[in-house]
Amino acid sequence: MNLPHDDNTCGWYAALPPQGPARRLTGRQIADYAVIGAGFAGLAAARRLAAHEPHARILLIDAQRVAEGASGRNSGFVIDLPHKFALENPDPAFKQRLLRLNRAAIDQLQSLVEAHGIACQWSHAGKYQGAVGERGLAYLAHFEKLMAALGEPYRAVDGPDLARVLGTSCYSRAIYTPGSYLVQPAALVRGLAASLPENVELLENSPITRVERDGTGGYVLYGKDGEVRTRNLLLGTSIFTREFGYLENRLLPVMTFASWTAPLTEEQSKRYGGTFDWGLTPADHAGTTVRMTQDRRLIIRNTYKHVPKYGRSVGNATRDSIRVEHRKAFLSRFPALADVPFTHTWGGVYAISRNFTNFFGQLEDGVFAAACDNGVGAAWGTISGTLLADYAVGAQSSLLDDIHAVTGMPSLNPPEPFLGLGVRTRIRLAAWQSRAEL
């Protein structure tokens, strides 16, 4: 079984204070509900189960420490709009359902941040989608048409106005949409874990290596030093769902990478000349994401890798070469900041499907899963985990109707070695085509 194997290079995580010791799975445990995976989906599912059944014993189990995995490694966007590929859907009702789901997730996260005083740089900053050259501008023009058809507010920003925001004249034009939020993701995930209801028990550094039926309609979850017996299992395991024998040959593990700088000094901030606390995603999806954090760090994110063994697929040499490419992207945008060093370069694994379809639902009696976020995990993980708990207890809502309507079965992948060859070729081609936007 291939377990999560994330390294210790994530800047978001390193910026947080050290945690106390983890509570691990030991001995034989019995739970009314077990949730595997303590990312956005698992945390939301456990919280919602506790609200439905305050007297139930709920175990939330993660192979790592909370926020060490993908949920704490993203670029910190919580996006309300449908993903680029979903925006292409010809059905307006489909896109409106996604908007309702994403905005419900944002409202939920904001309420939790405020209620529990989670210090995570939560900010209603909106989002820029930017273009550098002709290819990016063509994508941006298409995005603008899609936004107009959707009826959502947006505004175009270019020239000196855009440079004053971003501190760089690299970008020709951008479309600003106001509904997205920015966050320090590792801090948010840690805060969500620290504020779980009392009947949720969090077990960390406790990988589950095998799940079996117990012969009475329930399941046994086996770990290194303990086991859990439960009749209800919820999987918030994203790409790792396939390691338990579910959705096999339907999910693709992809890792994307980011580097960030040391915080800018006052003198460097003057040279930078832009604003603080903004985020830009590329109009050309294979381009570069850029963020300026509230604590004055610049983030560069690009480069995709097919990682069949997850973190074990990437070593220091690969990370070092990616860091060099990130440095080129940084200097092309901020040449006046050549003296500002990168302090961390890291990757995070997520799941995509060939038909860009998210899975949500029941896998077998008593087993439920939300899997395959297709690269938009913060909002989608939160709402899919919440609604998965509703589904598991038999609750009904219009949002549950919405998520059933927009999810389905990820398509089958071709067998290896054709799958790996095809994915790597596609990634290299996309990078070459989008080289002006990197």
Q: Where along the chain do its domains lie?
A: 126-181+252-354+421-437
Q: Is the pLDDT of residue 270 over 90?
A: yes
Beta-strand ranges (E) seen in 366-410 are 367-371
Q: Is the pLDDT of residue 432 over 90?
A: no
Give yes or no for a contact between 234 and 369, defined as CB atoms under 8 angstroms apart. Answer: yes
Q: Global pTM?
A: 0.96
pLDDT tens column, 83-142: 888 999 999 999 999 999 999 999 999 999 999 999 999 999 999 999 999 999 999 999
Question: For a pLDDT cut of 90, what percent of the chain falls above it?
Answer: 87
Q: Is the pLDDT of residue 415 over 90?
A: no
pLDDT tens column, 315-351: 999 999 999 999 999 999 999 999 999 999 999 999 9
Give yes or no for a contact between 257 and 302, defined as CB atoms under 8 angstroms apart. Answer: yes
Q: Look at the alpha carbons of 365, 65, 203, 113 in this order and tell me if their dihedral is positive or negative.
A: negative
| Closest by CA position to 152, among listed 141, 144, 160, 142 | 144
Over residues 151-175, the mean pLDDT reads 97
Give yes or no for a contact between 204 and 62, defined as CB atoms under 8 angstroms apart. Answer: yes
pLDDT recorded at residue 286: 87
pLDDT recorded at residue 7: 86
Q: Is the pLDDT of residue 82 over 80?
A: yes
- Residue 358 token pair: 């998210």
Q: Is the pLDDT of residue 236 over 90?
A: yes
CA distances from 338 to 33, 108, 272, 370 (A): 52, 40, 11, 43
SS (H, E, C) 265-328: CHHHHHHHCCCCCEEEEECCCCCCEEEECCCCCEEEEEEEEECCCHHHHCCHHHHHHHHHHHHH
CA distance from start to end of the chain: 35
- Residue 85 token pair: 């590929």
Q: Which residues contact 311 (CB under 8 A, 6 or more apart)?
A: 4, 5, 6, 7, 255, 347, 349
CA distances from 292 to 32, 52, 68, 334, 393 (A): 43, 39, 22, 12, 41
Superfamily of domain 126-181+252-354+421-437: D-Amino Acid Oxidase, subunit A, domain 2 (3.30.9.10)
Q: Is the pLDDT of residue 416 over 70?
A: yes
pLDDT recorded at residue 375: 65
Region label for 207, one of left (φ > 0), alpha (ψ between -120 and 50) or beta (otherwise): beta
Residue 226 and residue 29: Cα distance in Å, rounded? 8
Q: Is the pLDDT of residue 285 over 90?
A: no
Over residues 22-45, the mean pLDDT reads 98
Q: Is the pLDDT of residue 206 over 90?
A: yes
State the burial class of residue 136 (Cβ atoms within 10 Å of its Cβ: 0-12, 13-18, 19+): buried
Residue 316 and residue 326: Cα distance in Å, rounded? 15
Q: Is the pLDDT of residue 425 over 90?
A: no
Query: How big is the chain by its Cα radius of gyration, in Å?
Result: 21
